[in-house]
Amino acid sequence: MSFDLVFFGGTGDLTWRKLMPALFQAFRHGKLPEGGRILAVARDEQTDERYREWLKERFQEVEAGKRPNDEEFARFSELVHYRRMDLSQPEHYGKLKEWLSERNADTVVLYLATSPHLFTQICQQLGAAGLNGPKVRVVLEKPLGHDLASAQEINKVVRSVFDETQAFRIDHYLGKPSVQNLMALRFGNALFEPLWRRESIANIQITLAEGLGVGTRGPFYDSTGALRDMIQNHALQLLTMIAMEAPSSNDADAIRDEKLKVLRALKPFTAESVARDVVRGQYRAGSVDGKPVPAYLDEGKIPPDSHTETFVALKTEIQNWRWAGVPFYLRTGKRLAARDAQIVINFRPVPHPIFPGSSCPNRLIIKLQPEDGLELQLMANKGGSSTEALSPVSLDLDFDKAFAHTRVGAYERLLLDAIAGRLNLFVRSDEQEQAWKWVEPILNFWKQDSTGPRTYVAGSWGPPAASALIARDGHSWIEEC
């Protein structure tokens, strides 16, 4: 299958840090379809050769194991081309169409690795140039909008140019192998599904923690914040996959229909519940990995009076028969104690304990990063005597070791799916808009709240109020157990 893959924003960070390395890995693994061309477009005046040299230099900054050697890069770079393009000029889209028409590839993937404020302009120009035929797919990077209204406007323009089946709204968390295994865990095995409900589960925690600060993304992050950057998309997508009912098939729309039902069943926020059940924080100076780090307000290009949140913890519920009464706790933050993304399923304690000592409830930990695997925590007898207290033991599965030769990265998987036209791991417009609808009361409350975020020490697990939030229900975050 021949394909042309076009990166708008071909010299941007996303393209050279994530997308090109992912494509190279697919090429190295022999998974990239034959007959492909990769075209980077940007405003810079460059030739194919100069762009390839520039890209080769950038590859030296990616993870060592993912860098090509000279021979590998020489072969890969033969696929890579460059065109200067001013995205505001209609005639440049016409010239792009001419370039794509030279060989009339089976599939054309247009990847918008640009600032989201350009999405509507680019899509309108693509439509005007006739670059929206049935074999064309458009990939939209997050964030898709700044609020519900802007998301709806982007979707309105995209739908006016492309069919819904041509629009690939990317959430790179959905490409992680561990996230894909959520579906396999639940619907490919009979073990857990009978327990996957309110009668057996006490609470569910989703943590997306980062040790890094905002780095060079200060201006972007300050206009976005943790709620938009992580909760509205990544965390809610994980929640839907944990809580959804079994789809009728592995078809994209069957899966996304069930995810949408979960989003619609989330308990709506009110001003009162935001004040009670949502904690926002902002890191101050501290230490991460033994090294001092500055406060958020001292990072580059951050306004000294910024109220942007770098941490969010919240409690929500899903109002349906399966999950009624089960609290879901979501949290994310920068400059936390560790880089740690995981989902913790806390089961209810035994109804009548017969062993001495305290007995910890069972727990299933779905590890997303930096490790990738499953850990099931059980209670067992050491074998010393029949009267001794039980001790916790773990059954631990490391997917990276179990499937060492078949694992692919998130962007590698998603790029290959976009080329192949598989929509299962991409977000549909109604999902995206429903997620914005759910977080909007939080954003509106914060606009009126002059107190701003609570502070927390960099290198900690966030404001103490986040621990108090979960402790009110008699629970605790996993690191506090």
Burial 335-355 (b: 16+ CB within 10 A, else e): bbbeebbbbbbbeeeeeeeee
DSSP class of residue 213 equals: -
Across the chain, mean pLDDT equals: 94
Q: Is the backbone peptide bond immediately before 143 cis, with ω within 30 degrees of 0? A: yes
Cα separation of 264 and 323, whole Å? 13
The one-letter amino acid at 169: R
CB 8 within 8 A of CB 112: yes
What pTM was estimated for this model as a whole? 0.94
CA 393 to chain centre: 31
Phi, psi of 463 (to 5 degrees): -60, 145
Q: Which amino acid is at 323?
A: W
Strand partners of residue 64 = none
Confidence of residue 182 (pLDDT cuts 50, 70, 90): confident
**Beta carbons within 10 angstroms of residue 71's beta carbon:** 8
* Rounded distance between C-alpha atoms, residue 281 and residue 358, angstroms: 34
Query: What confidence tier does 266 reach under pLDDT thresholds 50, 70, 90?
Result: very high
Which pLDDT score, from 0 to 100, does residue 293 have? 97
* Catalytic residue of the set 29, 81, 172, 234: 234
Is 234 catalytic? The answer is yes
pLDDT for the residue 406: 61
Q: What are the pLDDT digits (tens) for 20-71? A: 999 999 999 999 999 999 999 999 999 999 999 999 999 999 888 889 999 9
What is the total residue count of the chain? 481
Question: For residues 21 and 399, what is the distance between their CA atoms, to the nearest angstrom?
Answer: 22
Taking the chain, what is the end-to-end CA distance rounded to the nearest angstrom?
52
Task: Give the pLDDT score at 95.
Answer: 96
pLDDT band at 405 (very low <50, low <70, confident <90, very high): low
Q: What pairs with residue 455 in β-bridges?
A: 282
- pLDDT given at position 356: 84
**468 φ, ψ to 5°?**
-65, -35
Q: What is the pLDDT of residues 416-450, one digit of tens each?
A: 999 999 999 999 999 999 999 999 999 999 999 99
Spatial CA neighbour of 144 closest among 179, 163, 171, 125 = 171
Is residue 383 predicted with pLDDT exceeding 70? yes
Q: What is the mean pLDDT of residues 261-268?
A: 98
For 155-167, the pLDDT digits (tens) are 999 999 999 999 9
Model confidence at 358, pLDDT cuts 50, 70, 90, reads confident
* Structure confidence by residue, pLDDT tens digits, 60-76: 998 888 899 999 999 99
Torsion sign (Cα): 352, 355, 358, 359? negative
Q: Which residues of 95-131 are buried (b: 16+ CB within 10 A; e: fewer)?
A: ebeeebeeeebebbbbbbbbebeebbebbbbbbebeb
Query: Taking 80 as the threshold, does the pLDDT of residue 385 lie above it?
Result: no
